[in-house]
Amino acid sequence: ELGSIACSHSLSYENVVFLDNISKEAHTVGINDLAFILDVICRSPEFSKQEFRDETALLIEALSWNVGSCHLKILSPRKSAAGTLNFLLQMFLSQDNSIRSLSSPYAHIVETAQRLARALFEIHLSKKDSLMAGCCLQIAKVLECGQFELIKESHQPVLIVEAVVRPIGVKLFSITTYVTPDFRYVDIYVTRFGGRMTLPGFEQCDELDAREWFESDGNDPGYQHLNDDEIVHQTAMNWLERQPEGTATQLVLQTERCGCKETTTVFVKVEQKIRLELCLVVTLELPLPEHCVVWVLSDRWVDCMHGSILSFNHIILPFRETLITGTDALSINTIIIILPFRETLIRGTDALSINTIITLPFRETLITGTDALSINIIIIIIIIIPFRETLITELNNTICLPRTVLKDSELEKLYSHSHFDTVISRTFRALYSGEGNVLVAAPTNHHKANAAELAIFGAVKRRPDTKVIFVSPEAAEVAERLEDWRHRLGDTHHLTIQALSEKITANARVFADNQVILGTSRHWWHTSCLPEVRRSIALGKVSLIILNDLEMMDVHMEALLSHLGTRPMDSLRLVALSGATLINNTQDLATFLRVPKSHLFNFKEAVSQNSPKAVIQTRRYAEMSPLARASAMIRDVWKALFHHTQLGHSAVVFVPSTRLAGFTVYHLQRCLSRCGSGLWVKCQKEAVEELAGSIQDPLAAVCVSYGMGIVHSNMSTQDCRGIRRAFHNQILQVVIITAEVSQTLRFHSNVVVVEGTERYNPDTRQYEDLSVSAMLRMIQTCSAACHNCNPCTPEVWVLAHKTKLAKYQDCLRGQVTLESGLVDVLPEYLLSLLGAGTLKKPDDEAARMCLRDTYLALRLSSNPSYYLCKAKRRSYVLSVLAMWADAAVKTLANAGCVNVDQPQGLIQITDLGRSMLSNQLCHITVNTLSRKLGADMTLEQVVRVLVLAREFQELLPFRQTEKMFASSQSKELPWRLPDERELPQTARKALLLLQVHLLRLQMPESLFTCAEMRFMLVTANSVLQVFIG
């Protein structure tokens, strides 16, 4: 980064290192004086060259030393080169008459000082030090304009606005800013104003009467309504054609800051068709404003005004060249381009109307017009985030700790490296020695594993007989941690480690017999409702709970944490690990998890392995037919694969369904036939023929001959593993994977292409979007790890509808805003509190109050629009929670799980509710069973009611091989499989699996056959338990 700054400003690396060291010193001490910044520039090694020494000696002889004429204090000694240069620069900026004849030697010095000031500004900007960056920008502006009159009172800038306007017929131009108390938005108004003014840039300014500059059109005051609460008094004024002698054409009126309102008005005399540049510093804090409004008014033309609303919700981050073109008639209200790393080209054809362009050009921004291109306002915005408000943990100057800090020779043997890296060193004392809750965001998988181990070592060191709970949303992560810790921790440190299973009754024994218990969030939510587990947690036998992959927190993990939050947690410690940078809701998560500020570590997304280079390809697929949409996507897939495979990269293509996977394979084969079928074959022909002969699936065998593989749910486990082994051995360069298989098998690659984000649901006969968590999990499966501490990040291409990419962008760049999903399982959550006896007074009021401390209440208050609420008032939030609690109680009462005493509002759990709680069924399933079960039902009718359970919806849809098997075995099956009009597809699938198990039939082998059969038997057993109850 320093090298880039040095190159862009034509400075030597020695100068940039000097400025960087000074910036660290200034950031530590808190120096923000303009005199200090100018002194730093003069002490730069650039001015120690012989040419500058000669020029300085020549100029100082022509001037008399008069410190009183300097605007800023000279900090360096008088006889030093820096002090002399400081004096010369200030004399030049004061426009002294004695130096006008020496402008030629001065040009070289001033130009160098300008480059140094801009470089110092970018250094502080990169460190997010807004106070110093604002002061450096003011010095740079002064040096570039050549006078001190532009120096304003120093602020803590967060938003720096430079307006470039070409007004027509505007004689008076001014800007007034208003910062509201909650900092939700900033209004930037261009308006007329009267009053007393001061000349900026001087410590003691002579006040000028407004009558010397303006004349009033009348005695009647005017009023302008800014919003519902504020009315600004204004008087119609005209700019006098004759102004006092020796005065500037631009004045700034600064009023005192009153509460949270700050008004800054800039008066500028603007000639017709003259380009005007204004710079305005707006002070605000996080969160950034949602919008700002710019108004341009005229004092000569009645109702001549132009307003533009600048929204900060849509931001373009071009990682490559950005081209914005208009055809026919395209109207763009606002374009916000922040940090363009390459050229940004905006071109108009026929009729392209752009009202406002907001840009920060670190590189060239080219705006061209063809035929008709209308641009009204161009605003350059620099967003500077205050360092103390970002909640981002920096790793600068972090000392790597040696492994001897563990103070245990046995633990030190577990690590082959002599020192921990910066992430673990930064969090070591909080994880290993501390006793408070910890939140670590954006580490790699290697960091997450080390952080969890350190927390376990610290817990066992304090209490050798303690129990540790490990919770993760993904079963693959649980299996990986179980295998690793059994070998490393179980064998060497005699820790009993086991994972939970689908059987709820068996999980109680697993919890009682082991010290470290691992499980998915769903398994743990069900297990935590068991009486013996609740009793162990209440007695303090569990001292540590590790939450893995917090960025993918589902409703089961949230319900588990909310349930634990209703109990005293003095002896229970939470360690949360997130694989992505948490944005917008970091403080809400810390409050919900009771994490102190000193134990909150939110690293940048650059540290995370889940932040790939998101190259997003978009097309308007929604306007096409399904066949045309698939063909358009496949053309983009071929372009991406052809480009990257020529560079020797391996590629993985994710498709939502098996049908689309076959369609993709067919078109890719046609493209390869035109370019050469051996384009992706990187090994000998004999190896390819041997691999094709060992694969039973006919489609996969044909794909292998083209150098690509396919993995779908119809394939056997042996074929899938053979394709994965060939891909990792670089026999195959491209592999196509369906979405349901992506969570079972991991393929490490350089490029990931997501071909469509919609999947067809045969029950609803509609296309459904993939969830953000599902998208993130697919990306994570391809995060290749060449070494444990050096993860490789794939490049991601997402082909989807343009309007559906917004929710995937933050996910792909490693930034996640985590919202609550507790409202979806609110009836089950309230029933678990009733069954556990957590509600001290089981009535309607207690049911409402128990939601106050949940993560749902926090996010409802912070982001009410996500939950379809319009207000942010605390009373309104409580009323919404009360409404949801009442609806959940009524739902449970209609299902027969609770009884509600209407006069007193008491809630009593029924036997059916206890049976539902012990078997962990959904209230919709219980309601369906209570409505459809009857006394005179045959066995077939009972089984048809059984397969209607909501839990069976997690089964995969019917595969083609299963349809063929059901058709061939129709005479053997005792119960007829109804069509889709009688039963949903998942219910038909469960009915087929149940009959196959009872008749001991042999189904075609596939990747998910055993898992689906096991899930069906466990779920059917739970439903039958409720039947019997």
For the chain, give the percent of residues with pLDDT over 90. Answer: 4
Assess whether the previous peptide bond of 287 is cis (omega < 30° from 0): yes
Per-residue DSSP letter, 987: H
Query: If DSSP codes are grouped into helix, strand and coil, which group holds residue 534?
Result: helix
> Lowest mean pLDDT: which of 6-20, 114-128, 148-162, 666-680?
148-162
- Alpha carbon of residue 98 to chain centroid: 58
Over the stretch 180-196, which tens digit does the pLDDT of each residue have?
333 333 333 333 333 33
Q: What pLDDT shows up at residue 68?
A: 59
Q: What pLDDT shows up at residue 1010?
A: 81
Per-residue DSSP letter, 823: G
With a cut of 50, say whether residue 608 has pLDDT above it. Answer: no
Which residues have C-beta within 8 Å of that of residue 516, sequence separation ≥ 6? Answer: 456, 467, 468, 470, 485, 489, 495, 496, 497, 498
Q: If you search the block for the tokens 């916000």, which residue do you land on? A: 336
With a cut of 80, say whether residue 61 has pLDDT above it. Answer: no
Backbone angles phi, psi at 43, to 5 degrees: -85, 5
Structure tokens at 232: 């600004």
With a cut of 90, say whether residue 545 has pLDDT above it. Answer: yes
Over the stretch 852-872, which tens digit does the pLDDT of each residue have?
778 888 888 877 777 766 555
Q: What pLDDT shows up at residue 350?
A: 54
**Structural contact between residues 355 and 333, judged by C-beta atoms closer than 8 angstroms:** yes
Integer Cα distance of 514 and 1002 in angstroms: 37
**Structural contact between residues 32 and 154, judged by C-beta atoms closer than 8 angstroms:** yes
Better pLDDT: 133 or 171: 133
CB burial readout 987-1014, b (16+ within 10 A) else e = bbbbbbbbbbeeeeeebeebbbbeebee
Per-residue DSSP letter, 433: I
With a cut of 90, say whether residue 517 has pLDDT above it. Answer: yes
Assess whether the previous peptide bond of 1004 is cis (omega < 30° from 0): no
**Structural contact between residues 358 and 315, judged by C-beta atoms closer than 8 angstroms:** no
- H-helix segments, 360-444: 409-412, 422-428
Q: What is the average pLDDT across 479-488?
A: 88
Q: What pLDDT shows up at residue 233?
A: 32
Q: What pLDDT shows up at residue 229?
A: 32
With a cut of 90, say whether residue 546 has pLDDT above it. Answer: yes
64-78, 192-206, 433-447 — most confident range: 433-447
Integer Cα distance of 201 and 128 in angstroms: 26
Which residues have C-beta within 8 Å of that of residue 21, sequence separation ≥ 6? Answer: none
With a cut of 50, say whether residue 497 has pLDDT above it. Answer: yes
Structure tokens at 642: 């052809």
Q: What pLDDT shows up at residue 878?
A: 79
**Structural contact between residues 455 and 432, judged by C-beta atoms closer than 8 angstroms:** yes
Q: What pLDDT shows up at residue 998?
A: 87
Structure tokens at 1024: 């039958």
Integer Cα distance of 443 and 206 in angstroms: 57
Per-residue DSSP letter, 895: T
- Averaged confidence pLDDT in the chain: 70
Q: What pLDDT shows up at residue 468?
A: 93
Integer Cα distance of 884 and 852 in angstroms: 12
Integer Cα distance of 990 and 591 in angstroms: 43
Query: If DSSP codes are grouped into helix, strand and coil, which group holds residue 214?
Result: strand
Per-residue DSSP letter, 593: T
With a cut of 80, say whether residue 288 has pLDDT above it. Answer: no
Over the stretch 720-768, which tens digit does the pLDDT of each residue have?
888 888 888 888 889 998 887 776 777 778 888 888 777 766 666 666 7
Integer Cα distance of 336 and 290 in angstroms: 13
328: left (phi over 0), alpha (psi -120 to 50) or beta: left
Integer Cα distance of 874 and 877 in angstroms: 5
Domains annotated for the chain, with CATH where assigned, are 2-149 (1.10.3380.10), 159-387 (no CATH), 403-602 (3.40.50.300), 613-813 (3.40.50.300), 822-919 (1.10.10.10), 923-1028 (1.10.3380.10)
Helix (H) or strand (E) holding 365: strand 365-369
E-strand spans in 422-496?
438-441, 467-472
Q: pLDDT band at residue 575, thresholds of 50, 70 and 90? A: very high
Q: What pLDDT shows up at residue 310?
A: 55
Helix (H) or strand (E) holding 578: strand 573-578
Q: What is the average pLDDT across 952-981?
A: 80
Backbone angles phi, psi at 282, to 5 degrees: -110, 130
The sign of the torsion formed by the CA atoms of 701, 706, 707, 709 equals negative
Which residues does residue 749 pair with via DSSP β-bridges, in sequence order?
783
- H-helix segments, 231-285: none
Which residues have C-beta within 8 Å of that of residue 552, sequence separation ≥ 6? Answer: 473, 474, 579, 773, 776, 777
- Report the candidate in 433, 429, 491 with the shortest Cα–Cα distance to residue 458: 433
Q: What is the average pLDDT across 106-110?
A: 72
Q: What pLDDT shows up at residue 805?
A: 63
Integer Cα distance of 611 and 793 in angstroms: 7
Helix (H) or strand (E) holding 900: strand 898-901
Cα 200–Cα 90–Cα 74 angle in degrees, nearest 5: 100
Which residues have C-beta within 8 Å of that of residue 799, sequence separation ≥ 6? Answer: 617, 618, 619, 621, 633, 636, 637, 753, 754, 755, 756
Q: If you search the block for the tokens 């040419």, which residue do you land on? A: 51
Which amino acid makes up residue 426?
Answer: R
> Lowest mean pLDDT: which of 222-236, 242-256, 449-463, 886-900?
222-236
Better pLDDT: 1025 or 517: 517
Over the stretch 358-416, which tens digit does the pLDDT of each residue have?
554 433 445 555 555 555 444 444 333 333 344 677 776 678 888 888 888 888 888 88
Q: What pLDDT shows up at residue 515?
A: 92
Backbone angles phi, psi at 139, to 5 degrees: -60, -40
Q: What pLDDT shows up at residue 14?
A: 83
Better pLDDT: 84 or 668: 668
Which amino acid makes up residue 280?
Answer: L
Q: What is the pTM of this model?
A: 0.58
Residue 482's alpha-carbon distances to 83, 519, 640, 721, 791, in angstroms, are 67, 9, 38, 21, 21
Q: If you search the block for the tokens 């082998």, which residue do you land on? A: 1005
Structure tokens at 857: 């209440």
List, edge to edge, every strand of the sheet that includes 329-337: 276-282, 159-165, 373-383, 351-359, 329-337
Q: What pLDDT shows up at residue 95?
A: 61
With a cut of 50, say whether residue 220 has pLDDT above it. Answer: no
**Structural contact between residues 780 and 789, judged by C-beta atoms closer than 8 angstroms:** no
Q: What pLDDT shows up at residue 456?
A: 92
With a cut of 70, say whether residue 496 has pLDDT above it. Answer: yes
Residue by residue, DSSP assigns 737-757 as: EETTTTTTS---BSEEEEE-S
Over the stretch 322-360, which tens digit does the pLDDT of each residue have?
455 554 455 555 554 443 333 455 665 555 565 555 554
The rounded radius of gyration (Å) of the Cα atoms in the chain is: 34
Q: First CA to last CA across the chain, in angstroms?
A: 68
> Lowest mean pLDDT: which of 79-88, 204-213, 877-886?
204-213
259-268, 476-485, 932-941 — most confident range: 476-485
Q: What pLDDT shows up at residue 570?
A: 65
Better pLDDT: 53 or 942: 942
